[in-house]
């Protein structure tokens, strides 16, 4: 049965949901600036393994299931995946102890992880600097060029018949999405507005919050060493940093994490810290061109799990994806499509049910 669905939010989650829903439904997507926001700023890691932390087993399960969907999702979109995997670097004894905790946790989850000395890590990823003392090699993590992904998603959504309304939404309720001067009637509304979702429906008011992240883009120049082949994550004396290579010589370097409301200013201190820590991990970046600085707002939830499911009859939510919006886009889109069709969603998404907000 076909429904009239309005999706509020055109980041990676909203676009994926709208595109997948359009296979069976009439879909309208509401966003004043689709394909921007946190999805445009993102690093592009599809990394449940190295984003997971003990106590976050449910998140690892959802992330693992979504990662397994990524090759098919990318093929349908015509977007390329980076498959070299992730290496993780540590500097001091405390970093090595943290890497051990992560490695033990991942091994218990049956994930493939190899512990390395600094020297072994440099053999795997020669761009890593001489003061790195410990490491991990994690196979199976993927990466994607987030901007290419957004271009492909937007094109596929248009081709599938999604109608775009470039206006902000004011509120979402059963059967209606309120815009500034009009109301869109619908069978089902989907709140997928990332960090802005909390303002759209009362059930989300204290459930989703902005978590600021600053990110830098650098580019290798003639005569400089090339960027790393792997995604490189590091703890630099307990400060986390990651470097994600792109095919064209660009390197995305991130990311700060602050609770700063809706502030998206890039701070001098944020840029300084990212460059300082990243240069210790991959010294060659000091000679690269700094091409862009940006800040985005992740949609944080209380338990770092996303919110995917029903808020009330006729209103679904797909938000709160925090550090994992790109990774979780395929499973979120599959789940919302199943819920709209009235069939069973993927089992792993159950832990993301917003009903937990009431408990």
Q: Contact positions toward ligand GLY, by CB under 6 A?
A: 43, 45, 213, 254-255, 298, 323
Helix axes 12-21, 325-341, angle to 10 degrees: 30
Helices (H), the chain: 12-21, 37-41, 48-51, 57-77, 93-108, 118-124, 146-159, 268-281, 325-341
- Smallest distance from ligand GLY to CB 177, Å: 28
Pick 311 or 329: Cβ nearer ligand GLY: 329
Which tokens go with 231?
Answer: 């995604």
Here the tokens at position 3 are 């429904």
> Which residue, 207 or 255, has its beta carbon nearer to ligand GLY?
255
Quick one: 177 or 195, whose CB is closer to ligand GLY? Answer: 195
Q: Cβ 320 to ligand GLY, closest distance in Å? A: 13
Residue among 134 and 304 whose Cβ is closer to ligand GLY: 304
Identify which of residues 156 and 217 has a Cβ nearer to ligand GLY in the complex. 217
In the complex with ligand GLY, the residue whose CB is nearer, 43 or 270, is 43
Minimum distance of ligand GLY from residue 144's CB (angstroms):
12
Whole-Å CA distances, 333 to 64, 181, 220, 301: 15, 29, 36, 19
If you search the block for the tokens 């990110």, which residue do you land on?
Answer: 215
**CB of 73 or CB of 242, closer to ligand GLY:** 242
Q: What are phi and psi of 127, to 5 degrees?
A: -75, -15
Shortest Å distance, C-beta 109 to ligand GLY? 19
| Closest approach of ligand GLY to the CB of residue 38, in Å | 8
Least Å distance, CB 43 to ligand GLY, is 5
Phi, psi of 283 (to 5 degrees): -55, -30
Please state the closest distance from residue 241 (CB atom) to ligand GLY, in A.
10
Surface-to-core class of residue 14, CB atoms within 10 Å of its CB (0-12 exposed, 13-18 middle, 19+ buried): buried
Give the integer Cα–Cα distance in Å for 117 and 100.
Answer: 12
Structure-token pair, residue 59: 């998140």
């Amino acid at each position: 049965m076909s429904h009239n669905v309005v999706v509020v939010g055109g980041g990676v989650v909203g676009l994926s949901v709208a595109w997948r829903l359009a296979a069976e439904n009439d879909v309208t997507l509401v966003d004043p600036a689709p394909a921007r926001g946190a999805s445009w700023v993102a690093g592009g890691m599809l990394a449940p393994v190295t984003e997971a932390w003990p106590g976050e087993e449910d998140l690892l399960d959802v992330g693992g299931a979504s990662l397994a969907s990524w090759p098919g999702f990318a093929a349908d979109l015509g977007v390329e995946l980076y498959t070299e995997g992730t290496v993780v670097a540590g500097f001091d004894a405390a970093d090595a102890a943290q890497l051990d905790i992560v490695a033990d946790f991942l091994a218990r989850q049956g994930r493939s992880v190899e512990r390395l000395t600094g020297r072994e890590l440099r053999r795997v990823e020669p761009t890593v600097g001489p003061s790195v003392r410990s490491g991990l090699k994690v196979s199976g993590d993927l990466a994607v060029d987030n901007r290419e992904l957004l271009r492909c998603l937007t094109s596929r959504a248009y081709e599938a018949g999604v109608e775009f309304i470039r206006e902000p939404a004011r509120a979402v309720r059963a059967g209606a999405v309120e815009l500034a001067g009009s109301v869109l009637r619908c069978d089902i509304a989907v709140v997928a507005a990332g960090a802005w979702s909390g303002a759209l429906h009362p059930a989300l008011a204290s459930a989703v919050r902005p978590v600021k992240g600053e990110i830098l883009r650098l580019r290798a120049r003639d005569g400089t060493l090339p960027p790393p082949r792997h995604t490189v994550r590091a703890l630099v004396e307990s400060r986390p940093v990651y470097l994600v290579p792109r095919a064209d010589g660009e390197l995305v370097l991130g990311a700060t994490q602050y609770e700063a409301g809706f502030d998206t200013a890039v701070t001098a201190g944020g840029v300084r810290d990212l460059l300082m820590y990243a240069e210790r991990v991959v010294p060659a970046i000091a000679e690269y061109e700094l091409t862009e600085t940006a800040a985005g707002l992740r949609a944080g939830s209380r338990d770092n799990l996303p919110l995917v499911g029903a808020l009330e009859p006729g209103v679904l939510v797909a938000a709160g994806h925090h550090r994992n919006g790109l990774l979780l886009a395929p499973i979120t889109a599959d789940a919302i499509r199943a819920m709209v069709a009235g069939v069973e969603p993927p089992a792993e998404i159950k832990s993301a049910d917003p009903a937990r907000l009431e408990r």
